[in-house]
Amino acid sequence: MDFHLFRMQLERGIDHVNNMYVALDFPSWEETESFISIHRLQGVPVKVGMELFYREGPDVIKRLKEDQHPIFLDLKLHDIPTTVFRAMRNLAELDIDLVNVHALGGVEMMKQAKAGLRSGARTDHETKLIAVTILTSFDKKTMNQELLLPGEIAEHAVHLAKMAKQSEVDGVVCSVHEAVGIKAICGQDFITVTPGIRLEASGRDDQKRVATPYYAREYHADRIVIGRSITEAENPREAYERAIKEWSNETKL
């Protein structure tokens, strides 16, 4: 993809550009800033996880917003309802796009998370709340034998999504493989955010339920998160553009 065409798409708000988040799984702001600058990824949607946020705190969000990055803050809150309410009330002030909790925290916790976001909002911008169903690092064996949850992953993912919907949560984090079933139950407007995205030539690393951007698009994921396929690629800029082409169904690659 031509760089100028990419910038034009970004400025026009084309869905497949704005809904693919690059996971900034770096240990410090210095490394994060260097990666973005060297590979000309200013302004692309990004996911900030625990590693970077716990090191840099809210300042990293402010710095990324200065560069016009849409932000998914991936902290997976899971605690008693009152604690989650208070945490979300503070996070609401960051004015980001997405933030999440664990659906396993239960209906009341998710309701309080949503209430905290509304209570702490300082602008008209709405931060979307999503709930993690079953981590993509889990497979059926792990879920059955370690968590002692019988049955299939898809069954539990759909059940947790129904709980999230009941709690007025905006969507869920799930694998691509569960997205269609979740939308069938919770509706097409219910957001599915799918991590575990890999380019065809990339390894699985510690993810079990993975998919390519093309596959994610075919199975109606709304937003995807892609990390090491880009950040550890020989040419991250080129890998990003390949992922965008797949995600937009321009080519299967």
Please state, in angstroms and rounded to a whole number, the distance separating the CA atoms of residues 152 and 174.
Answer: 14
Catalytic residue among 47, 65, 76, 252: 76
Please state, in angstroms and rounded to a whole number, the distance separating the CA atoms of residues 231 and 120.
Answer: 33
How confident is the model over 153-195, as pLDDT tens digits? 999 999 999 999 999 999 999 999 999 999 999 999 999 999 9
DSSP string, 52-118: HHHHHTHHHHHHHHHTT--EEEEEEE-S-HHHHHHHHHHHHTT--SEEEEEGGG-HHHHHHHHHHHH
pLDDT at 18: 86
- At the topology level, CATH places domain 3-247 in TIM Barrel (3.20.20)
pTM of the predicted structure, to 2 decimals: 0.88
> Do 196 and 175 meet the contact criterion of CB atoms below 8 Å apart?
yes
How confident is the model over 108-139, as pLDDT tens digits? 999 999 999 999 998 888 999 999 999 988 99
Is 252's pLDDT higher than 70?
Answer: no
19-23, 29-33, 122-126: which has the minimum mean pLDDT? 122-126
How confident is the model over 201-228, as pLDDT tens digits? 654 454 455 689 999 998 889 999 999 9
Concerning whether 76 is annotated as a catalytic residue, the answer is yes
pLDDT at 123: 86
Q: In the structure, what pLDDT confidence band is assigned to residue 34 with cuts at 50, 70 and 90?
A: very high
Q: In the structure, what pLDDT confidence band is assigned to residue 251 with cuts at 50, 70 and 90?
A: low
Annotated domain spans of the chain: 3-247
